[in-house]
Amino acid sequence: MGQSDRLCKNCCYWQRTVAEDIQEGTSQETLGICRLIPPAVLESGTRWPMTKESDWCGEFDHLGPDAANEF
Ligand code: SF4
C-alpha cells in the first residue's frame, strides 16, 4: 500500500457520513467520522472528529487493531 492509499477513506477507523449529518464546511468532498479516539464531550453533546476522505494522519490503519491477533 503506497502513501497515496493511506487516506482516511481507506482507514478502518473512518466512517462515511451522509450529507444530511454534515453541519459545517462547504467542501464537495465526502466527509466522514474518525473513530480512532473517543468523541469530545461538549455542552451540546458529543462530537466525533470529522475528516475529508482525502485526509490522512500517522495513525492510519488499514486492517484494524485486532489484525495482529488473527495470525
Ligand atoms: S484521521 Fe487518521 S486514524 Fe482517523 S480515519 Fe483518518 S487516517 Fe484513520
Q: Taking the domains of the chain in order of start, what are their residue ranges? A: 3-70
Under the banding of pLDDT at 50, 70 and 90, the label for residue 1 is confident
Pocket of ligand 1 (CB under 6 A): 8, 11, 13-14, 34, 36, 51, 55-57, 59-60
CA dihedral 27, 62, 57, 44 (to 10 degrees): 60
* pLDDT per position as a tens digit, 21-64: 455 555 578 899 999 999 999 999 999 999 999 999 999 998 87
Task: List, in sequence order, every beta strand (DSSP E) within the chain.
Answer: 14-16, 31-34, 40-42, 45-47, 50-52
